[in-house]
Amino acid sequence: MSQATQELQNEVAGLIVSALNLDINADEIQADAPLYGEGLGLDSIDILEVALVVSKHFGFQLRADNADNVRIFSSLANLTRHIAANRTK
């Protein structure tokens, strides 16, 4: 993983923790652990909140009707890859 990708992943983890007021540190989120259900334990409302924060912060829309959402939100690593490919800021 490149330094830039690692920095982006850390930034995304921080956004998730702050947006959801999680009682963990951003560096405790494992890159390949599931975000939804097991793993981090987020529910659909949490995922929606993360999508809103990511959309505002990185300047692109994460749409609810995107067929790839299950893959995109499956882990911090996948979410980071999607942001890197689509961000406008």
Q: What is the pLDDT of residues 50-63, one digit of tens each?
A: 999 999 999 999 88
Rounded to an integer, what distance in angstroms lies between the CA atom of residue 88 and that of residue 67? 21
- Over residues 6-60, the pLDDT tens digits come to 999 999 999 999 999 999 999 999 999 999 988 899 999 999 999 999 999 999 9
Q: How many domains does the chain have?
A: 1
| Full DSSP string of 44-61 | HHHHHHHHHHHHHHHTS-
R_g over Cα of the chain: 12
Sign of the dihedral through C-alpha 48, 49, 52, 54: negative
Domain containing 8 equals 3-86
Residue 36 sits in a domain whose CATH number is: 1.10.1200.10
